């Protein structure tokens, strides 16, 4: 999205035509729905600037920009190499506290730009301009003052504003980036903030068992750890982690004294030597009834609330999920649950493909240009294809059940930076991911992807490992099918619209 000339825009009065012109000016991907009072407020603001600035009619602003992943909107932004100016437009009837709160929040979100920042609100119904001071107070301002600041700033960059708000600047994992998490260099989406408010309210109302789920990439981990930070301000809390990353947890445990971490194996909970004010559970899909019962025993003895983050992979066959994870948690009569639906890491195309891969029922209605599927008749050919993907920047996520011995595979030398075992991917993310599906994978009569080794109980986690591995991808997915032409044909029915 590009900056626009707001003076030129406000020469129009018809909302529909104004929306079309704005879209053409800004290169926005979709038309804005602009209300009449918004047009009038923008016109009055532009007119007031013209009274005090000779070249006000040439000023460029980013108009009505929304940080899509966070749901945060800014009315007017001007950005250059040194300075950011943000102006919010109100018609009237808004309290000073609400205006101040919005500007403080805007400052919070724009800190990632690392520039000097100024924040204003123009209330057109009162013809009043206010500014947020450095100390966070709301003070009266004037258009003369604003004009001087705009002159000082000079021009506005014409770059795509999305370039300033890359996801890795404000969306982090507390496990893989503990330093930024502890410095609170992260943001929650509007949906995460809403769920957080509801959970805290429920705790105040005496509801002791709560949790939230969502597909990988919806921000469950950061929300859980943010809640843990908040509830540990006065008294320590504990966090049970069902999954990998023991080394990373030890680093967080060392640096974050208010939260004690306990590593849990699948459906097992260790003995706890002390009491805690709250209990948090990460990767709760690794719990069965035994582990949940043990945690609830602690909660009852300590009179402490329990908050669980877990995956509910309903696109995976129920036979793969029975007796553990989401069904155990959600069937508890005291459980109150929430669902995160906004994908932060995994884009819509890859998320849709992953769900279709695991549950192929129905017809395909879209293209998947960022998904590649290739075939090798045996292990040697498959490894060559995977090696090619690695050279193109893909991370090979492999399942230990494949029995790969990298040290003995001459054509497939060990390079730790280009591959990782599927049991160690939780909390990590990669631009490109490649995974291998062998002859043991098949679709059952209900069109769920299954695995014969999992069916026999030899390795019950093959489908879940595939799901969690592919969900680590942010930009591209590659599948290499080894010796399984029937599966290759079935997957291409998914790929082609």
- Work out the percent of the chain whose per-residue pLDDT is above 90: 52
Residue 213's DSSP bridge partners are: 310, 339
The model's confidence at residue 433, banded by pLDDT at 50, 70 and 90, is very high
The model's confidence at residue 36, banded by pLDDT at 50, 70 and 90, is confident
Q: What are phi and psi of 227, to 5 degrees?
A: -65, -40
Gap between the terminal Cα atoms of the chain: 30
Top pLDDT among 244 and 299 is at: 299
Cα 54 from chain centroid? 44
pLDDT tens for each residue of 143-170: 999 999 999 999 899 989 988 887 666 6
pLDDT tens for each residue of 7-35: 999 888 888 888 899 999 999 888 888 88
The tokens describing 207, both together, are 């509801």
The model's confidence at residue 128, banded by pLDDT at 50, 70 and 90, is very high
Q: Rounded to whole angstroms, what are the CA distances from 6 to 59, 145, 205, 331, 452? A: 7, 19, 48, 55, 62
pLDDT tens for each residue of 166-197: 766 666 778 777 888 888 878 888 889 899 99
Q: Can 178-339 and 348-495 be said to share one CATH topology?
A: yes
The whole-number average pLDDT for the span 479-493 is 94
Residue 90's DSSP bridge partners are: 123
- Work out the percent of the chain whose per-residue pLDDT is above 70: 90
Determine whether domain 348-495 maps to CATH 3.40.50.300. Answer: yes
Residues 6+ apart with CB under 8 A from 26: 1, 2, 3, 4, 62, 63
Answer yes or no: are the C-beta atoms of 371 and 350 closer than 8 Å.
yes
The model's confidence at residue 357, banded by pLDDT at 50, 70 and 90, is very high
Superfamily for the 178-339 domain: P-loop containing nucleotide triphosphate hydrolases (3.40.50.300)
pLDDT at 215: 77
**Per-residue pLDDT at 252 exceeds 80:** no
Residue 336's DSSP bridge partners are: 210
Domain boundaries along the sequence of the chain: 4-165, 178-339, 348-495
The whole-number average pLDDT for the span 437-449 is 92
The model's confidence at residue 6, banded by pLDDT at 50, 70 and 90, is very high
259-264/237-242 β-pairing = parallel
pLDDT at 213: 92
116-123/128-132 β-pairing = antiparallel
The whole-number average pLDDT for the span 135-142 is 95
Q: What are phi and psi of 310, to 5 degrees?
A: -155, 160
The tokens describing 172, both together, are 């982090």
The tokens describing 297, both together, are 């025993």
pLDDT tens for each residue of 97-121: 999 999 998 998 888 888 999 999 9
């Amino acid at each position: 999205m590009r900056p626009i000339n707001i003076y030129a825009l406000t020469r129009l009065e018809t909302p529909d035509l104004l929306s079309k012109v704005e879209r053409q000016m800004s290169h926005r991907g979709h038309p804005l729905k602009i209300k009449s009072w918004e047009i009038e407020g923008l016109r009055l603001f532009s007119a007031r600037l013209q009274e005090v600035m000779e070249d006000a009619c040439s000023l460029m602003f980013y108009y009505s920009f929304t940080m899509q992943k966070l749901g945060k909107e800014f009315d007017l932004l001007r950005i250059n190499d040194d300075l950011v100016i943000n102006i919010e437009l109100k018609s009237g009837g808004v309290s000073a506290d609400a205006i101040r709160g919005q500007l403080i929040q805007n400052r919070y979100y724009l800190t990632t730009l690392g520039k000097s920042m100024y924040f204003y609100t123009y209330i057109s119904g009162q013809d009043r301009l206010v500014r947020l001071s450095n100390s966070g107070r709301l003070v009266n301002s004037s258009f003369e003052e604003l004009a001087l600041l705009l002159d000082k700033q000079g021009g506005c960059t014409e770059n795509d504003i999305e370039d300033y708000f890359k996801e890795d600047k404000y969306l982090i994992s507390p496990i893989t980036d503990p330093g930024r998490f502890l410095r609170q260099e992260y943001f929650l989406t509007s949906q995460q903030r809403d769920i957080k408010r509801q959970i805290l309210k429920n705790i105040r109302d005496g509801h002791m068992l709560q949790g939230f789920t969502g597909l990988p990439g919806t921000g469950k981990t950061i929300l859980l750890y943010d809640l843990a930070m908040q509830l540990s301000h006065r008294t320590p809390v504990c966090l049970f982690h069902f999954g990998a990353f023991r080394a990373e947890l030890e680093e967080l445990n060392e640096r974050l004294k208010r939260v004690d971490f306990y590593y849990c194996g699948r459906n097992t909970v260790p003995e706890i030597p002390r009491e805690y004010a709250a209990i948090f559970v990460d990767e709760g899909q690794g719990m069965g009834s035994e582990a949940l019962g043990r945690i609830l025993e602690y909660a009852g003895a300590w009179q402490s609330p329990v908050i669980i983050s877990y995956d509910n992979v309903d696109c995976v066959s129920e036979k793969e999920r029975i007796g553990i994870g989401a069904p155990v948690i959600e069937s508890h009569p005291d459980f109150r649950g929430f669902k995160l639906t906004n994908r932060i890491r995994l884009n819509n195309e890859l998320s849709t493909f992953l769900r279709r891969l695991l549950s192929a029922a129905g017809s395909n209605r879209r293209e998947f240009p960022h998904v590649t599927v290739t075939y090798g008749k045996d292990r040697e050919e498959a490894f060559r294809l995977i090696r090619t993907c690695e050279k193109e920047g893909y991370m090979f996520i492999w399942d230990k059940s494949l029995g790969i011995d990298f040290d003995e595979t001459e054509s497939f030398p060990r390079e730790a930076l280009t591959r990782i075992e599927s049991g160690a991917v939780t909390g990590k993310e990669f631009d490109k991911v490649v995974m291998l599906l062998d002859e043991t994978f098949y679709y059952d009569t209900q069109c769920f992807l299954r695995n014969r080794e999992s069916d026999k109980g030899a390795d019950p986690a093959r489908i879940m490992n595939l799901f969690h591995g592919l969900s680590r991808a942010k930009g591209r997915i590659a599948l290499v099918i080894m010796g399984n032409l029937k599966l290759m044909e079935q997957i291409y029915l998914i790929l082609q619209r």
